[in-house]
Structure 1
Amino acid sequence: MQKQTLSKKRWLRLIPIAFITYSLAYLDRANYGFGAASGLAADLHITPGISSLLGSLFFLGYFFFQVPGAYYADNKSAKKLIFWSLILWGGLATATGLITNIKLLFGIRFMLGVVESAVMPSMLIFLSHWFTKAERSRANTFLILGNPATVLWMSILSGYLLNSFGWRWMFIFEGFPAMIWAFIWWKVVQDDPKDAKWLSSQEKLHLEEELLKEQQGMQEVKNYRDAFKSKTVILLSLQYALWSIGVYGFVMWLPSIIKAAPNMDIVTTGWLSSIPYILAVLLMLGTSYFSDKTLNRKAFVWPFLLIGAIAFYGSYLIGTSNFWLSFILLIIAGGAMYAPYGPFFAIIPEILPRNVAGGAMALINSMGALGSFLGSYIVGFLNGRTGGFGASYVFMAGSLFLSALLTIWALREAKTPSKKKDFKVSA
């Protein structure tokens, strides 16, 4: 009974806060695609190539500061780091609606990536301090649901804001909430269970014992450098980079892909752009539940990436001959790409001890940022160069296919004992 009460308290208090925080972060990075599709590029005289670079520049800033952010969150305070990140990224996102100079836009997009770079690893570290192995895939999923769920409502809201007020006010309206939310975050969260006034001493002790028990049997890894040299971590970093090429190529350019269809207005584009994320939310919830139920991670990661690759390639084969059939395959691709996030980010805390797990997740996420940079830029470049979307579909399909293969290889490596390591993961 006590265990159920403790679990309920944590889920009800922390998960909504984590979800909203990441949702606001994702809102302020993903709405650029809507701005670019509706006036920003024309007003600032931005060419398709420069627009691709601007859309992807966020991820370059995001790439460089993941590991330092994770180190600060793990050794100092995730609460403090995310508080200041909320204020700064909200301000930068709002400033996007005020600029008249393309040079300033370059700076804002890069700095937005820098400021947001600590959010994902810090939130994963934060949740790993509060939720056990049997809960972690679901906890991670509810965090990362802020990604597709945000794009879902953002697609609709942005369409109406653009139609009614224009791209400048869209950025202003959608950037300001993060600065307000920072103070709610500061008031509600604590870095560790021992600091929570809303838990009894017995509840704190029980949770700390459960989390400590998970660390028993893991081989000691002295520092980040040793963790980063792990073959499993290297393979998962490459896997996540390729996976992110598909995800962010899709997210950044789906509005433009739909908008190019005959007789398509921006409001309809917004509604249609939201549909893949409805499927994504449903698949993420189901996948994380069964992954935690079985404590099997591999079986809930690579098959979905393979499905995404096949769907992208099928959409390429259909081409422009049948927009709606092609769009249905894009819906499947989008849902399949999002489904494995919860199980994937539950892997590292299960194979590496707590002192280095946060840094390893940050390294993997930073490689994902590099893949996101390449994905959003190359997809936009291919669309502009070829005058269609077929080449970018093949590019994203190939990236996801390789990502699926690397998942199998990485987790097979994690199960293989050696004299130097004893990393194990359920597969």
Structure 2
Amino acid sequence: MNEIQNASSRKRWLRIIPIAFITYSLAYLDRSNFGSAVAGGMGDSLHITTAVTSMLSALFFFGYFFFQIPGAIYAQKRSAKKLVFISLIVWGVLASATGIVNNVRYLYVIRFLLGIVESAVMPAMLIFLSNWFTKSERSKANSFLILGNPVTIMWMSIVSGYLLEHVGWKNMFIIEGIPPIIWAFIWLAVIQDKPSQAKWLTHSEKQELEGILQEEQKDIVPVKNYAAAFKKPKVIALAMQYFFWSIGVYGFVMWLPSIIKNGSKFGITSTGWLSALPYLFATVMMLVTSYFSDKTMKRKVFIWVPLLIGAVCFYLSYQFGATNFWLSYALLCVAGGVMYAPYGSFFAFITELLPKNVAGVATALINGMGALGSFVGAYFVGYLNGATGSPSASFFFMAASLVVSVVLMCVVRKNSEKKQQNPVLVGVHTVK
């Protein structure tokens, strides 16, 4: 890497990644604090059953499915910056509104609307990062973005436990809905959609970066339009793979506090601390995995291997968790960490399979299927826990879902298409 690239890289990592990380992390306040609120008394206060709680958890992800593709199209053709700004404000208002309702019917509406508002953020942020980071940087950049998920859940589990104990679930929601609104104006002031708009890059740095990004597109097989991309077997397989992966992830995220509280009989503050540890492990695993994924450019192995380990851990929890809480908890810590580990590699893999004109919207389709998987995971895990009186059946369900995702990831072919009569790997020739 020459001197110009080094200077540009340092500036981009210092200016873009912290802002992206904080922005995306705020989205997880109102996703995951709902599970803590349920374990901390919201269900009792509003007299809602386990089945209703499951539906409220799942409705967020059902709404999250709807605006993925329109949001990605707007972000790609117009402005990710403006879309994220509006989303931050609206989801902050809705998150705080959760704390002022007294009827479960309004919660149905709020959770669904929250999903719709936040559905545009993930594809918009991935499109935004693809404008700023090269292929060899992308897995790590994506991982730092998505680290907002486990890091937020980690500290939120502790803070929310404290707030639940001292100010109650209503005030917890109101307080935790304010930061996104404030942050929206910081985002608007400091972020630019593309390098060409950045005053803090020199002309040479802009040219160098844009040249690299354009050069990377030359080895990718062209795809005419969105419809053609959606029909590709690779895109369909990855969408289904992410669906089953998300069942495991969000069955885990939404119900971990309740599983720990019911299995250990600890108070809500202790439950919050125990709920945080799997996400500390997830943070470490995401950083390590993305580093080696970018270093070796072997994307697939850093996706399916961690997911397979997660499936094994869930299965062992199914076998032994009912009789040994601490063994089950240790296995859940490992499962949570390895389920998060592949995110950076996975979304980098998509951008290396498809050209820039369709990659962002294809990512939105895949992420949308992940939202449906999250819906199934959040609802069905809660249903199994309530119907059986134990998390054992849900552990088996999440293990089976991860096994299916592993199989689908392994069958995505690398080199079935041709460009100019020469076989290439779809995306970039170094993708494994």
1:340 is aligned to 2:342: yes
- Partner residue, 2:165: 163
Q: Return the offset for 1:261.
A: 2.5
- Partner residue, 1:307: 309
1:174 is aligned to 2:176: yes
| 1:129-278 equivalent positions in 2, closer than 5 A | 129-278=131-280
Task: Check the 8 A contact 2:219/2:427 in 1, yes or no.
Answer: no
Distance between the aligned counterparts of 1:262 and 1:248, measured in 2? 21
SS at match of 1:38: helix
Q: Return the offset for 1:219.
A: 2.2
- Corresponding letter in the other structure for 2:306: F
Q: Return the offset for 1:424.
A: 4.1
- Partner residue, 1:378: 380
Q: Return the offset for 1:38.
A: 1.2
Task: Check the 8 A contact 2:355/2:427 in 1, yes or no.
Answer: no
1:284–1:262 CA distance, 2 compared to 1 (3 A)? closer
1:416 is aligned to 2:416: yes
1:325 is aligned to 2:327: yes
Task: Check the 8 A contact 1:415/1:424 in 2, yes or no.
Answer: no
Distance between the aligned counterparts of 2:357 and 2:68, measured in 1? 16
Aligned equivalent of 1:282, options 266, 284, 287: 284
Distance between the aligned counterparts of 1:128 and 1:418, measured in 2? 24
- Partner residue, 1:11: 13
Q: Return the offset for 1:30.
A: 1.2
- Partner residue, 1:369: 371
Q: Return the offset for 1:220.
A: 1.7
| 1:111-130 equivalent positions in 2, closer than 5 A | 111-130=113-132
- Corresponding letter in the other structure for 1:205: Q
- Partner residue, 1:83: 85
1:97-129 CA-partner distances (Å, limit 9, x unpaired): 000111111000000000000000000000000
Distance between the aligned counterparts of 2:97 and 2:414, measured in 1? 45
Distance between the aligned counterparts of 2:21 and 2:12, measured in 1? 13
SS at match of 1:297: coil
Distance between the aligned counterparts of 1:424 and 1:196, measured in 2? 28
Q: Return the offset for 1:418.
A: 5.4
- Corresponding letter in the other structure for 2:368: S
Unaligned 5+ residue runs, structure 2?
Answer: none
| 1:32-111 equivalent positions in 2, closer than 5 A | 32-111=34-113
- Corresponding letter in the other structure for 2:86: W
Q: Return the offset for 1:12.
A: 0.3
Distance between the aligned counterparts of 1:424 and 1:223, measured in 2? 16
Distance between the aligned counterparts of 1:131 and 1:91, measured in 2? 32
Q: Return the offset for 1:299.
A: 1.1
TM-score norm. by structure 1 comes to: 0.98
Distance between the aligned counterparts of 2:211 and 2:337, measured in 1? 37
- Corresponding letter in the other structure for 2:417: P
Distance between the aligned counterparts of 2:343 and 2:219, measured in 1? 26
SS at match of 2:177: helix
TM-score norm. by structure 2 comes to: 0.97
Distance between the aligned counterparts of 1:279 and 1:84, measured in 2? 33
When structure 1 is superposed on structure 2, of 414-423 and 369-378 the one drifting more is 414-423
**Aligned residue pairs: how many?**
425
- Corresponding letter in the other structure for 2:390: G
Distance between the aligned counterparts of 1:151 and 1:299, measured in 2? 26
Distance between the aligned counterparts of 2:427 and 2:305, measured in 1? 20
1:217-250 CA-partner distances (Å, limit 9, x unpaired): 3222111100000100000000000000000000
Identity between Structure 1 and Structure 2 (%)? 60
Unaligned 5+ residue runs, structure 1?
Answer: none
1:196-232 CA-partner distances (Å, limit 9, x unpaired): 0111111111100000000113222111100000100
- Corresponding letter in the other structure for 1:101: N
Distance between the aligned counterparts of 1:74 and 1:262, measured in 2? 47
Q: Return the offset for 1:349.
A: 1.2
SS at match of 1:416: coil
1:311-360 CA-partner distances (Å, limit 9, x unpaired): 00001100321110110000010001000000000011111110100001
SS at match of 1:415: coil
- Partner residue, 1:391: 393
Distance between the aligned counterparts of 1:416 and 1:230, measured in 2? 11
- Partner residue, 1:316: 318
Q: Return the offset for 1:5.
A: 1.0
SS at match of 2:28: helix
Distance between the aligned counterparts of 2:397 and 2:95, measured in 1? 30
Distance between the aligned counterparts of 2:74 and 2:204, measured in 1? 29
Distance between the aligned counterparts of 1:81 and 1:256, measured in 2? 34
Distance between the aligned counterparts of 2:89 and 2:53, measured in 1? 26
Distance between the aligned counterparts of 1:77 and 1:265, measured in 2? 45
Distance between the aligned counterparts of 2:365 and 2:64, measured in 1? 11
1:25 is aligned to 2:50: no
When structure 1 is superposed on structure 2, of 216-225 and 282-291 the one drifting more is 216-225
- Corresponding letter in the other structure for 2:78: K
- Corresponding letter in the other structure for 1:417: E
